[in-house]
Structure 1
Amino acid sequence: MRSTHLISCVTLATVLALTTGAASAKGCLKGAAVGAVAGHVAGHHSVLGAVGGCVVGRHMANKKAKEEASQKSSVTSQPHAASDANHV
């Protein structure tokens, strides 16, 4: 029974890895690794922890990307202070 469960999980993980793009894995891999360890320690729920960690890691990566994009756009929209100093 245990080996069947392991084979099922590995098969599912392989299918998911092959069907998703590389860009969608950003944050998921790190979160899944941390979640799997936490799930294992919390009571042998490694797969559940990996799934939860992937979701949280992906969310945090998207949030960080949005913050960086907004910071980059706000920096480019500000006038240059050096050019104002030359007009004194």
Structure 2
Amino acid sequence: MRKRIAGTVLALGLAGFAGAAEAKGCIKGAIVGGIAGHAVGHTVAGAAAGCAVGRHQANKRQRDRDTAVQPAAR
């Protein structure tokens, strides 16, 4: 139980250092990855992987939005 509390405190402390733009997608991915990782005994690794996947997906959605919004060149 102490490890879980220490991990949560550490994660929340480190999340405070991340910029708002960098956290987009990471928080949701880390939560989902942490839960999935916990099921197989690798909570921290699952949270880290979930964060990376969440960031990737957020960047991909942002790129799609940016290209869709640009007007056609004349």
Please say whether Structure 1 and Structure 2 have the same fold, judged by a TM-score greater than 0.5.
yes
Q: RMSD between aligned alpha carbons? A: 1.8
**CA deviations over 1:25-60 (Å, ceiling 9, x no partner):** 11111111111121122x221121111000100011
Count how many residue pairs are aligned between Structure 1 and Structure 2.
74
The separation in 1 between residues aligned to 2:27 and 2:34, in whole angstroms, is: 10
- 2:55 maps to 58
Give 5+ residue unaligned stretches, structure 1.
Answer: 80-88
The separation in 2 between residues aligned to 1:8 and 1:39, in whole angstroms, is: 17
The separation in 1 between residues aligned to 2:24 and 2:10, in whole angstroms, is: 19
- 1:77 maps to 72
What displacement does 1:61 show? 0.3
Q: Which has the higher contact order (CA 8 A, sep 6+)?
A: 2
The separation in 2 between residues aligned to 1:37 and 1:10, in whole angstroms, is: 13
Question: Structure 1 segments of 4 or more deviating over 4 A?
Answer: none
- 2:36 maps to 38
Larger radius of gyration: 1
- 1:26 maps to 24
The separation in 1 between residues aligned to 2:9 and 2:73, in whole angstroms, is: 51
- 1:16 maps to 14
TM superposition score normalised by structure 1: 0.70
The separation in 1 between residues aligned to 2:51 and 2:12, in whole angstroms, is: 15
What displacement does 1:14 show? 2.5
- SS of 1:19's equivalent? coil
Give 5+ residue unaligned stretches, structure 2.
Answer: none
